[in-house]
Structure 1
Amino acid sequence: MGYRQAAVLVSVSFFLGEFLPLILTVYPLKCPTAIDPFITPPYADAQTIASLDPKALLHGIVILGLVGLIGKLHKWDESAVFFDGSSLAAYIFALAVYMTVGIPACRTVADPVPNVDTKDDQIEALRILSAGNTIIIVLLGGILALQAGQQWARRLEDNAAAEAATEKTKAAVPEKKAGAAAESKKDK
């Protein structure tokens, strides 16, 4: 594993660590009989996310993941095109979902527009945020699966190359004839 793959795994794992706990707290909102979300943790979670100060850390990790995937794609072999290209597409799609769904929904919940955003709008924004987070988690899990598949394919390819090399060296070494007698010290 190189630095580029480590950059991808670190950024994906960071975002999974950010979104998985949110799924657990926002899950009751997916049910129509959910209790009032302003009494439950989802409201507080959305407010916390919307008012985070270290946005530079979040942006830095997004860029780290993009640089890692583009750097891995730079190698341009079959493995990079399939696994890293698919991972890059999933990463960009997850980023687009976060920017177009997650950020506006968090803003609606955390800082509603007076006389425009009602309590029902905020509950709906939390439900949309929950659905967007679920999509993002599935995409990030797919990236991890693709990266694991790439490592498995490389190991399989390396094992096949090693077996081919041992077969080649076995074929190059001449075998003694079965009927030939072993040389003794006198014959030498």
Structure 2
Amino acid sequence: MPDFLTSVVYTSTSFLLGVILVNQIVDFDLLYVNPMPANAVSNAFTYYQTWWDAPVGVKALLHLAAFAPIGSLIIKLNAWTESAIFFDGSALALEIATVILYLTVHIPSLRTFLPPSVKDHTKWNFLPASPPPEVPYSITDKTDAVRVLAAGNALVAMCLIGVIGMQAGQEWARRTEEREQRLMDEKAEREAERIKKDL
């Protein structure tokens, strides 16, 4: 069971990391190119509008990939061993940080620079609708929002890499412990055989 749960964490986290990598198509120009290309913001608006208007199935898959590792890590943490507390607990904290970034950075940023979705997904939306702004957002507000979203993607990528690192570290620690235990057992067996021969 722990191997299956670890596989769920690896698969879901790697999938989300791949999505963030694809987002770098537009995020790179927004964050790392100075001066920013003239079409970088409009390209980002178009790109993220595609995600925002994606079918419900696509959004459901992304949310499943975000929440499946959290459930798996909670179950793994139930073992309450030193390894689970350190590695799974740290990975769980990073996964929760990813969800917090999504809810506090990504959703508000998308709502700032994108027009309302042309498709009616309100019956599937678990988040309350944002109140309309008192003053319409200016292009500067929208540009800042899309750049904040790009920076949020970079932070999410770091969290996800940390999750994968924690799970890989747990496996390395388990194998190291098993190898050391095997060496100690072999040494004890040799010592027992030597004592028998001396008798």
Where on the TM-score scale, by shorter chain, does this alignment land: which range?
0.7 to 0.9
Shift of 1:129: 0.3
Correspondent of 1:88 among 92, 95, 117: 92
Shift of 1:38: 6.1
Name whichever of 34-43 and 51-60 sits farther off.
Answer: 34-43
DSSP 3-state at the match of 1:103? helix
Q: How many pairs does the alignment contain?
A: 177
CA–CA distance in structure 1, aligned partners of residues 40 and 154 of structure 2: 21
Amino acid at match of 2:102: Y
1:74 aligns with 2:78: yes
1:51 aligns with 2:71: no
Query: Which structure has greater helix proportion?
Result: 2
Identical aligned residues as a percent: 34
Higher relative contact order (CA 8 A, sep 6+): 2
Larger radius of gyration: 1
Residue 28 (structure 1) aligns with: 29
CA–CA distance in structure 2, aligned partners of residues 120 and 32 of structure 1: 17
Residue 99 (structure 1) aligns with: 103
Q: Is the 8 A contact 2:30 2:40 kept in 1?
A: no
Residue 140 (structure 2) aligns with: 120
Name whichever of 165-174 and 37-46 sits farther off.
Answer: 37-46
Shift of 1:96: 0.4
CA–CA distance in structure 1, aligned partners of residues 54 and 100 of structure 2: 19
The Cα offsets for residues 124-149 of structure 1, whole Å up to 9 and x where unpaired, read as 11100011001000010111111111
Moved over 6 A (4+): none
Structure 2: unaligned runs, 5 residues or longer:
117-131
CA RMSD of aligned residues (A): 2.1
